[in-house]
Structure 1
Amino acid sequence: MKQLLIPIITLLISVNAYSQRPDKEKVKALKIAHITEQLDLTAKEAQAFWPVYNANEDAREKLRATSKFKRPESIDALTEAEAKTHLEGIVSLELAKQQLEKKYYTELKEILSAKKILKLMDADRSFRRKLIEEFKERHRGERSHRKKQ
């Protein structure tokens, strides 16, 4: 398993080197490779897992896209009624996220062991961390390049 980690990291770095803004499909492919390597799924598990995983990702994206609640520029400028409406919207969005997560983990328990679900959670977090680190590293390089000019 660890032998696959180096090629995946290399692939992640090379994709980011060729593109200032990696497109969603490239990131998705890297994430799939990372999760596959981390979970060590059997063929039967993978066949059942990926449709559930992808449906959940789509539902999360839809929830984010339909969320009307943006952070106000100034909380002090809000009226009490506006603040109350905003707060209720935040609570409603959080409840929808929790319901989505509960449904997702209920479906996953029928496919994967609890240990593999925990590994999935770790794999999602570690992938996000890698992307953030790659982003930071790329922007550090851009800043130092600009300073030299």
Structure 2
Amino acid sequence: MNKFIIIIFLCATSFSFAQKKQDWEKINTLKVAFITEKLSFSTKEAQDFWPVYNEYQEKRNTLRKKSYNQVRGKIKDVDTLTEKEAENLLALHIQIEEEEEALDTSFLNKISKVITAKKTLLLLRSEDEFKRQLMKQYRQNKGGK
């Protein structure tokens, strides 16, 4: 799929951004196509890259859920927390942030052995580009309703 088709597909696809499984599957499918196009993987690179990347994404999502369920979901009620509860919540937040940083570092070390350093940097840039395009599409769809 070339870049032009991906962009058209992004623009033509309406995202409700509800946490429906099919919406996230659609987004992930678009993300895979986008990254594949941007990084121009050889067959060998693709075979080696996707298992490492998918494992990283699963771990990252687990940490995000943990953060939301154990920290962010409780922050909205910060006014009702005791100081001790707030200290514990803050410590947990810091711990999760450190886990995320360690996961990111580990992933970058692993992936840069699977693909080149240049493609690793291109991956980071491509993920940011994809997020920007997705948010742009979301704002356009939200504004049109």
Of 108, 111, 122, the residue aligned with 2:111 is: 108
- The CA distance in 2 between the partners of 1:123 and 1:20, in whole Å, is 23
The Cα RMSD (Å) is: 1.8
2:38 maps to what in 1?
A: 38
1:63 equivalent to 2:63? Answer yes
Q: Which runs of 5+ in 2 are unaligned?
A: none
- The CA distance in 1 between the partners of 2:126 and 2:140, in whole Å, is 21
Q: How many residues align?
A: 138
Q: Deviations over 1:91-110 (max 9, x none)?
A: 10101101111111111021
Q: Which runs of 5+ in 1 are unaligned?
A: 143-149
- The CA distance in 2 between the partners of 1:139 and 1:115, in whole Å, is 36
1:52 equivalent to 2:55? Answer no
1:10 maps to what in 2?
A: 8
Aligned amino acid, residue 92 of structure 1: Q
So what's the TM-score if we normalise by structure 2? 0.87
2:97 maps to what in 1?
A: 94
Aligned-pair distance for 1:49? 0.2
Identity of aligned residues (%): 33
Q: Deviations over 1:12-37 (max 9, x none)?
A: 12222xx6446111111100110011
Aligned-pair distance for 1:66? 2.4
Aligned-pair distance for 1:10? 0.7
- The structure whose Rg is larger is 1
Q: Deviations over 1:31-54 (max 9, x none)?
A: 011001111111111110001011
So what's the TM-score if we normalise by structure 1? 0.85
- The CA distance in 1 between the partners of 2:136 and 2:2, in whole Å, is 19
- The CA distance in 2 between the partners of 1:14 and 1:73, in whole Å, is 35
Q: Do the aligned partners of 1:15 and 1:26 also contact (CA within 8 Å) in 2?
A: no
Paired residue secondary structure (1:8): helix
- The CA distance in 1 between the partners of 2:85 and 2:126, in whole Å, is 39
